[in-house]
Amino acid sequence: MGKRSIGDNDVDLMARNRAYSTSCLRTLSFSANSGIENIPAILLDGARVLHVLDLSRTGISSLPACVGNLKLLRVLNLSKTNITEVPECLKSNKSLRFLDISNCRSLQQFPQWIGELNCLEHLDICRCSKKSMPKGISKLVSLQVLKLVEDNTLSVEENESFKLEHFVNLVNLREVWINLDHEVELKSIENGILATLVKMRLLTIVNYVDDNLSPPLSEKMLAMKDLEFLSLRRLEVPDWICGFSNLMHLELFDCHCAEYPALEMMPNLIKIHLDGNRNCKALPKGFGKSGRFPQLRYFIIDCFSELEELPELEDGAMPHLEILRVERCCKLTKFQVNLSFWKV
């Protein structure tokens, strides 16, 4: 029998049935039940010890005001719902650690009081369609994860409320996904605006301004000594990137450099994904030298329209490689590799 989806009638019955008392409930999830368009107040009113409320991918358009009484609520997931606003009564919540309102296309405005959630550690406001960013984000000093992929149709005037310069206050950030939508932001990146984020572990930067504008990243970013995951799209790949000695996962998408730096000198790389390069004709010969890429397990090369050859591998190069994937490299003709050394 297939999984049965829950609808409004089911939720209403649960709310009125004494057998479904919520007084001791710590987690309530209706995720992926699109038939639910309403959450009865009576269902949440008694849930005073609720820690997790997950309504993601439901059809709800609003929350009852009593959600403000959930003083122990730590996780609120409203992703991919039809909500038009986040209830202001939540701003007094001092327990909330996780808030996800990503892909809420009906949201009229980001909560301007967001800065009052001073214990918030994870905030996802990706793709909420043409909403200016609240300045209050810069007050979230406990924030560790910030995902704010914006709608790149915003004008500079519409999007000027939250700027990259506000990142300097968020010194506890460990995971960030940034879309660069304006030349002012590109200049900020070039000037090293992110260098204060020394606790960073995962960083994604996407340039949406112009495919021909590939601003150089600032070498000041090497202050992120514990960075483990780095993903760059449509950006210049600097030689100093090899200074991220603890980096384990590197993605370079649509970075149209003719030559790559000596990535093989990064001792802890486990995965490299190179995708979408129209200028590179050959990968560095150093990639195939004995003893290089000592920890690499996954190497993906995709959509290199001009790539003609891969480096010849010496015995002992990439000793732990498990997966080699080369796709959509139509000009690749030279591939001198002794596969007996690889698990592919």
Query: Tens digits of per-residue pLDDT, 70-87?
Result: 999 999 999 999 999 999
What span, in angstroms and rounded, lies between the C-alpha atoms of 114 and 305?
A: 45
Statement: residue 340 has pLDDT above 70: no
Q: pLDDT confidence of 144, banded at 50, 70, 90?
A: very high
Q: What are phi and psi of 117, to 5 degrees?
A: -85, 70
Statement: residue 279 has pLDDT above 50: yes
Which pair of tokens denotes residue 145?
């994860």
Q: The pTM is what?
A: 0.79
Look at 75-84, 88-97, 147-156, 172-181 and tell me which has the smallest mean pLDDT.
147-156
| pLDDT number for residue 342 | 41
| pLDDT number for residue 334 | 62
Which pair of tokens denotes residue 108?
């009229």
Burial of residue 205 (number of CB atoms within 10 Å: 0-12, 13-18, 19+): buried
| pLDDT number for residue 200 | 92
| pLDDT number for residue 162 | 54
Cα 50 to its chain centre, rounded Å, is: 27
| pLDDT number for residue 5 | 45
> Whose CA is closest to 54, among 35, 28, 26?
28
Categorise residue 298: left if φ over 0, alpha if ψ from -120 to 50, beta otherwise.
beta
Q: What is the pLDDT of residues 314-330, one digit of tens each?
A: 888 899 999 989 999 98
What span, in angstroms and rounded, lies between the C-alpha atoms of 175 and 251?
A: 15
| Cα angle for residues 150, 103, 145 (degrees, 5° grid) | 65
Between 149 and 34, the higher pLDDT residue? 34
The rounded mean pLDDT for the chain is 83
Between 149 and 299, the higher pLDDT residue? 299
DSSP string, 237-302: --GGGGG-TT--EEEEES---SS---GGG-TT--EEEEEEESS-SB--GGGGSTT-STT--EEEEE
Statement: residue 216 has pLDDT above 90: no
DSSP reduced 3-state for 43? helix
Look at 37-41, 250-254, 336-340 and tell me which has the smallest mean pLDDT.
336-340
Statement: residue 61 has pLDDT above 50: yes
Chain length of the chain: 344
Q: What is the pLDDT of residues 222-240, one digit of tens each?
A: 999 999 999 999 988 999 9
Categorise residue 196: left if φ over 0, alpha if ψ from -120 to 50, beta otherwise.
alpha
Statement: residue 2 has pLDDT above 60: no
Statement: residue 154 has pLDDT above 50: no
Q: What are phi and psi of 131, to 5 degrees?
A: -120, 130
Q: What percent of the chain has pLDDT over 90?
A: 50
Statement: residue 159 has pLDDT above 50: no
| pLDDT number for residue 15 | 53
Averaged pLDDT, 260-264:
94
**Which stretch of DSSP H or E encloses residue 15?**
helix 8-16
